[in-house]
Structure 1
Amino acid sequence: MTTQAAHRHDHEHHDDARSFVAAVEHASNERGLRLTPLRREVLELVASAGKPVKAYDLLDRLREKHGNAAPPTVYRALDFLLENSFIHKLESINAYVSCHHPAESHQVPFLICDKCQCAQEVCDERVADLIEAQAKAFGFRPQAQTLEVHGICKNCR
Structure 2
Amino acid sequence: MSSPAHAHHHHDHAVRHDHGSCVKDALARADALCTERGVRLTSQRARVLELVWSSHKPRGAYAILEDLSADGKRVAPLTVYRALDFLLEQGLIHRIESQNAFVGCPDPGTAHTGQFLVCSCCGNATELTDRGIAAAIADSAAAQGFTVQRQTVEVTGICPDCRDH
TM-score, normalised relative to structure 1: 0.88
Structure-1 residue corresponding to 2:64: 58
**Residue correspondence of structure 1 range 89-104 to structure 2 within 5 A:** 89-104=95-110
**Residue correspondence of structure 1 range 97-136 to structure 2 within 5 A:** 97-136=103-142
8 Å CA contact retained: 2:56, 2:125? no
Question: Which whole-Å CA distance do the structure 1 matches of 2:6 and 2:123 have between them?
Answer: 21
Structure-2 residue corresponding to 1:141: 147
> Match of 2:30, as an amino acid?
V
Question: Which whole-Å CA distance do the structure 1 matches of 2:152 and 2:41 have between them?
Answer: 26
**Once the two structures are aligned, what percentage of the paired residues are identical?**
45
SS in 2 for 1:155: helix
Number of aligned residues: 150
Structure-1 residue corresponding to 2:14: none
Q: What is the CA deviation profile of residues 5-42 of structure 1, one whole-angstrom value per residue up to 9, with x for unaligned ones?
A: 6xx7xxx8585111111111111111111111100110
Structure 1, unmatched stretches of 5+, are: none
8 Å CA contact retained: 2:6, 2:127? no
> Match of 2:74, as an amino acid?
N
Deviation beyond 6 Å, 4+ runs, structure 1: none
Q: What is the CA deviation profile of residues 76-132 of structure 1, one whole-angstrom value per residue up to 9, with x for unaligned ones?
A: 100100111110000101110000101123212100011110001011111111111
- After superposition, the CA RMSD in angstroms is 1.9
8 Å CA contact retained: 1:84, 1:105? no
